[in-house]
Amino acid sequence: MTTNEITLRASVPGDAAALAEINNAIYPDNPLTGEAVAARDRDRERAGPSGRWVAVLDGQVVGQGMFFQSGYEYAPGRFRVWVGVRPEARRRGIGAALFDRALAGLAPHAPQVLRAQVRADQRAGLAFLARHGFQEVMRQQESVLDVAAFDPAPYAGLDERLAAEGITIRTLAELESDAERDRKLYDLEWALFQDTPGVDTSTRRPFDEWVANEINNPRLPHDGYFIALDGSRYIGLTHFWDRSAAQGPTAFAIGLTAVLPDYRRRGIATALKVRSIRYAQAVGCPTIRTASEEHNAPMLTLNTRLGFIRLPAWITADRTVG
């Protein structure tokens, strides 16, 4: 790079591969492909308003700035923002310019809170957020499991013991004949989120939007979505999001694992996760990633017991608008 010819423009679908390269330059141990970027973009379009701009330096896309709404922690006035610049292109004001452009694009949507995430080992990212008025509100401990190395033997008989207590585990696909399946899951997931450690409350999406964003999302494998039942009552769940590209190896991230309070400390969450790991083994998934709020000791303990290895935490930071 020998000149300073920097331009900003709206992102186009053809940028996907370059956007993946930016991510991979910043987080080489958590790589994306262009196909995975496109899949995430489709998720964001389902969730609400979004926008992205890129910085081009000497003909190369070297940075991106974007806003979007989260399908999981949705609130009308809360928006996620993310700015990323290739390390070799930093210290030229590109990040600040992209951030300002994203804010200008976001303004018509009446934002009240901006939310950003950065991994704890990214000093440049942490400094950027501090300079732009963000304050830490939560840390999530990310962990990864080597799927092939998992040994299910210590958990032999767990499903049978639970079955003797009336607790069974079925997949989303297996429950397709239940006419109330989606409504039961909608209510269960909302109840579980109210009791899951996090930053704050969210606004419940209308049922039809939730079905479109989650149940009908092509990145949600129905045979990798496990539901615990007490008779016909839905009492707990765990499920995957497929993080892989169409041509790449399957890679899963756990979206949520939780059990209703009255059913805890009976091994149900353990059984759900073991079933999900065995599924990942069966489909040839090399790794599973998950993240739990740093004070969620029961889930962190369970993950460790199952063999998950802790990675640097993800820091969530907020900035109030206005």
CA distance 210 to 215: 7
The domains found in the chain, sorted by start residue, are 6-111 (3.40.630.30), 143-315 (3.40.630.30)
What are the backbone angles phi and psi of residue 253, rounded to the nearest 5°? -125, 140
Q: Is 10 helix (H, G, I), strand (E, B) or coil?
A: strand
- The length of the chain in residues reads 322
pLDDT of residue 249: 59
Q: In degrees rounded to 5, what are phi and psi of residue 12?
A: -125, 160
Tokens 């079955």 found at: 163
- What predicted TM-score, i.e. pTM, was given to this entire model? 0.84
What pLDDT score does 177 carry? Answer: 96
Q: Is 171 helix (H, G, I), strand (E, B) or coil?
A: strand
Residue 200: predicted pLDDT? 65
Helical (H) or strand (E) element with 319: strand 314-320
Average pLDDT for runs of 10 along the chain of length 322: 76 95 91 86 87 96 95 85 96 96 96 96 95 96 95 95 98 97 96 78 85 89 97 96 63 91 96 96 92 91 96 95 84
